[in-house]
Structures are given as C-alpha cells and as structure tokens.
A and B are shown apart, each in its own frame.
Chain A
Amino acid sequence: MSEPSWGKYGTWEEAESYLGKVIGEDVGVDAVELGSIRRWLEPKEFDCALHTDRKAANDAGYRDVLAPSTMVFSYGLPAYWSPGDDHAQIGDEPRQIPIPVIFDVPAPCTLSFASNIDMEFFEPMIVGDTITRTSRLASISHKELRVGKGAFMTQEDTYTNQNGEKVAVVLLTIFRFVPPERKEG
C-alpha cells in the first residue's frame, strides 16, 4: 500500500544524525470545542454523550465534555492557511498533512509505505484544552524486503495539553525504500 512518494533525499548517515532529536513540533490551531467534536462524530455515526453532554461527562467523572481519544491527531494539527500567508494559486502543490515528519529526514529512498501505528492515551482532552505535538525520530531499522531495500523509520509523537500534561504518545512506522533495479531483457 504505497502512498505518493515524497520526502527529503540524503544519505543514511544524515538520517541517523536525526535519531532521538525533535524533527517536528506543531501547536494545534484549534482548541478542543463542541463544534469540531460534533463534526468529527458525524461521519462515523458515533453517538456518545461523553462527547456532547456536560452532565453525562460530569457523571462519568470528567469536569466537562471530552473529545474522543483518537481525535488527538486532529487537535495537534496547525492551520493550512493563516492570516499573513500568501494566497493560493491554481497550480500550487496540494497541501500535505504535516504529521509524517519522517519525510523531513533525509534518506536515500524514493518510495514508502506506512507499516503500523501504536497509540497510547493518558489525560483526556477536555473542552478548552489546546494540544501540542512534538515529534522525535525514535528508530531506524534497516531491512531488505521484496519491494526494495530501505529501513523502517519510527517517529514518536508526544501530544501534550496547555498544562504540559501528556495526552497521548503515538508511534508511527514507515518503511522508506528504493525498489530493486529492473534487469534488462
């Protein structure tokens, strides 16, 4: 299941120099609020009073309505356009979601596929919270697969709220590779 290839090109030595370092950080542009929660529940036909009703949330032990845990990805995203930015033109490159920051790490690869994702949840996201995502390059594991030679690269995304409390930790692993050269004839 390969996705369009993008990502910086460089050497494995360059890639390994990023290990353990922060490779991306974004402050979510929107605070947790009822409208965005409702619009997120809607396409999933997800009916749960914890995410819509303060009394139900209070009765379950929360101080206010909470967002679904897996909505953390969305609340950690920056704006796609902000006041002061250039206006878009026909022919501009489409905007890409900035979460797979693995592609900002130079590596001698031309293709990729997402391998797996692990997520762990801690503090709930309550209405009014703002979420920050900090991404580190956690590991590079070289491997040769049928699709080509490359490495499983894992980023660790830590999501925190405005009080610095940990909300979630997500490990995203992507295999970046070069396909084998085709033999003539």
Chain B
Amino acid sequence: MNMDVHRGIASVSVGDEIGPISIPVTLQRLVMEAGANRDFSLIHHDRDVARATGAPDAYMNTFFIAGMFERLLREWMGLKGQLNKIQNLRMKVFNCVGDTVEFKGIVESVDESNNHVAVALSSNTDNGVTVTAIATVTLP
C-alpha cells in the first residue's frame, strides 16, 4: 500500500471511483482464509459439500468478502481514514473457486459537516455482480 495516501474530505466528490482490486479464488486461498478467519463451514472449503448444497463450487464466506471491501477502502483512504459501517451487505451470486473477484466502489455522498463519505460497494465476476453493500467512512 502506498503509505503516502492520506485522502482528505476536501479532495473527494460524489461519483469518484474506488478501485478496482481483484483476487483470484483458488481452493488453496479459501483454505488459507478459513485458517485465518476461523469459519470452518464446509461449504467454504469442501467442494463436494458445497456442490451438494446447490452451489457450483466452494465459495468465499462473508468474512472474506467484508475483509476485501475493507482492503479496498483502506487503500483508497490511507492510514488516517476510519471505517465506520458496512451496511446492507447482500450476497447475490456465489464467489467460487476459479473465479477472479473484482471489488470496487463509487462515492455516493460527501458530508463535510461530519467528514463522512458514503460509498456504494460491489463485487463482480464473469457472472456479473456478486455482492453489494454500502460503507460509511470518516476522512480527515
């Protein structure tokens, strides 16, 4: 991460694009993630179990997705920004082994009275939009 990024509220406008960043989903990465976030639900690392529940393959869990949104926002905000909220996070399509998942955002509102910025977040794969959410951050 560029340590020189210290985004201030005055430099942000509605419609500014954030990212994208992307991550390739492999079974190895899902296993690394499960070990790190300690959600050992089989659907997130056992391909047979995931398929038996109707998913195309093992898929990313909520913690992984929320963490990728945090990375997206942190790389944009710099070290002085604060993540306040991630709301209405909705899974629409599975993010599966073999997918490259792209995460991005767009500034929806800027409130200079309290330095809050609302960001519409989304992720997508070749199958279209997979997750949506709204974040609120505070910038200096």
Query: Are A121 and B67 closer than 8 Å at their CB atoms?
Result: no
Query: Are A119 and B86 closer than 8 Å at their CB atoms?
Result: yes
Q: Which of A102-129 contact B (CB under 8 A)?
A: 114-121
Given contacts A43-B64, A44-B23, A97-B41, contact A70 B3 (CB under 8 A): no
Which of A15-23, A34-42, A156-164 lies on the face that meets chain B?
A34-42
Q: Which residues of A contact B85 (CB under 8 A)?
A: 118-121
Query: Are B3 and A56 closer than 8 Å at their CB atoms?
Result: yes
B60 CB to closest chain A CB (Å) equals 10
Q: Which residues of A contact B42 (CB under 8 A)?
A: 4, 94
B113 CB to closest chain A CB (Å) equals 19
B32 CB to closest chain A CB (Å) equals 4
Contact with B along A62-85 (1 / 0, CB 8 A): 000000111101100100100000
Q: Is A141 an interface residue (CB 8 A)?
A: no
Q: Is B80 an interface residue (CB 8 A)?
A: yes
Query: Are A40 and B37 closer than 8 Å at their CB atoms?
Result: yes
Q: Which residues of A contact B91 (CB under 8 A)?
A: 1, 114
Interface residues of A, CB < 8 Å — how many?
41
Q: Is A59 an interface residue (CB 8 A)?
A: yes
Q: Which residues of B contact A182 (CB under 8 A)?
A: none
A residues lining the B interface (CB < 8 Å): 1-4, 36, 39-40, 42-50, 56, 59-61, 68-71, 73-74, 77, 80, 94-97, 99, 114-121
Q: List 29 A-B contacts (CB under 8 A).
A: A1-B55, A1-B91, A3-B41, A39-B35, A40-B36, A43-B36, A44-B23, A44-B33, A46-B70, A48-B71, A50-B74, A50-B79, A56-B79, A68-B74, A73-B37, A74-B38, A80-B40, A94-B42, A95-B40, A96-B41, A97-B40, A114-B91, A116-B90, A117-B66, A117-B86, A117-B89, A118-B87, A118-B89, A121-B84
B residues lining the A interface (CB < 8 Å): 1, 3, 23, 29, 32-33, 35-43, 49, 53-55, 62-64, 66-71, 74-75, 79-80, 82-91, 94
